[in-house]
Amino acid sequence: MVITITLLLFYFLTPVLLIYLTHISKTVNKIGAVVLAYGIGLLIGNIGLFPSASEAYLNLLAGKPFLPHNDMLNYIQTGQLMESDLQLNKIKSLQDMIMSVAIPIALPLLLFSLDIKRWLKLAKEALLSLILGISSLLIVLIAGFFLFGDKITESWKVAGMLCGVYTGGTPNLAAIGTALEVTPNTFILTNTYDMVLGSICLFFLLTGAQRVFNLVLPHFQESHKHIKLKQIIEEGEGVDNYLGMLTKKGIVQLAKALGLSFLILGVSFAISLLVPKTSQTMVIILSITTLGLALGTIKAISSIEKTFQLGMYFIIVFSLVIASMGNLRSMFQIDFLNLFMYVAFAIFGSIVVHVFLSYLFKVDSDTTIITITALTFSPPFVPVVSAALKNKEIIITGITSGIIGYALGNYLGVALAYFLKGFL
């Protein structure tokens, strides 16, 4: 009981501390709460704080998240397992419970504030670049699957997650990982490699990309002077602002949004009962996505402030939990070199194809760069890269692409995964 309470407090209060630190420290803010959560989770899970698993327990587990409690008691009574296995199993069951709830609750909260209709009206010209970006990603992911797929565990699921993270971001990666029931180690390795390689990609976009792309693509020409750029910039940067959530008014409003999120989860669970058990998790995630977007069109819901930030809190909780389940030693095994190469191929290969398609369709270099930024790193990075390019006019294009990417990511990721599964 003490272990359970301690872990619950750790998993739900540490993200609060991390969010606070991002507000008081520019350095911590640049790193990001999600990245820090992964680091802390990996540290906690790999320094010996959790009981070690016996070989017999690992064999009985056989890929399952945990064993039923009554089964564990029987195994211990018959001498097949040890008391330490029982303690570890309790920890695993708690971790699985938090993971199972965190993403379904986070998704509607993230989607309530995404007014897709408004963004489409503001920047229809962004759609061409968005279509080219998504097309580039799909081409490269499919090609990479046939190059590396037979050497990667759960390769079709990895492809789906990469599709999600490079159209929406970490929330889509987590949602698709949950929908496809990806093992924690595969999820952690995929996300870790993405963060390492993504930082290299971001450095290139901030520094040399404009000069390189200008060699083959048209230069940007002013065309959006009528857009209220100040408002767009504030919206793009505001997704990382958690201030005001704990005021009396904020708590009441967010409690309503949280209640709606639980209601959507309940309805989605009921819908999932209509399909075979093997497809239920996927149906729950896609139903939540659809209902979250639908309710976001209702002004009374979309106008609730800080729903996106509350959703990101649960994403940070999820990140902390799943990282604490990872095994750092496995990250350096040769078996995972192909996974690293697949992620690298996805990031840099999609950029090359995107630039080629932009060349064919005469899309300018700045628009191409900001679309890559929005899809690969999500909207909060758009104002940062636009500032590096010294071009604020492309902010609306980038944020539009990122917002639509959030909405499409789950559908595209799951669809691609099951499409590729058919080739195994």
Whether the pLDDT of residue 334 is over 80: the answer is: no
CB 317 within 8 A of CB 41: no
- d(CA 368, CA 232) in angstroms, rounded, equals 19
Whether the pLDDT of residue 238 is over 80: the answer is: no
pLDDT tens by residue, 95-106: 989 988 888 898
Which one is predicted more confidently, 63 or 98?
Answer: 98
Residue 226: per-residue pLDDT: 46
Residue 235: per-residue pLDDT: 52
Q: Is residue 5 part of a domain?
A: no
Q: Is residue 35 part of a domain?
A: no
Q: Is residue 194 part of a domain?
A: yes
Burial class (CB in 10 A: 0-12, 13-18, 19+), 62: exposed
Question: Percent of the chain beyond pLDDT 70?
Answer: 88
Helices (H) and strands (E) in the chain, counts: 22, 0
Q: What would the two tokens of residue 95 be?
A: 């971790």
Which one is predicted more confidently, 122 or 276?
Answer: 276
Kindly report the pTM of this predicted structure.
Answer: 0.74
Q: State which amino acid sits at residue 22.
A: T
Q: Is residue 407 part of a domain?
A: yes
Average pLDDT over all residues of the chain: 84
Q: Is residue 92 part of a domain?
A: no
- d(CA 151, CA 360) in angstroms, rounded, equals 34
Give the domain extent around 322.
Answer: 101-235+315-421
Q: What is the DSSP letter of 50?
A: S
Q: Count of domains in the chain?
A: 1
Q: What would the two tokens of residue 56 be?
A: 């017999």
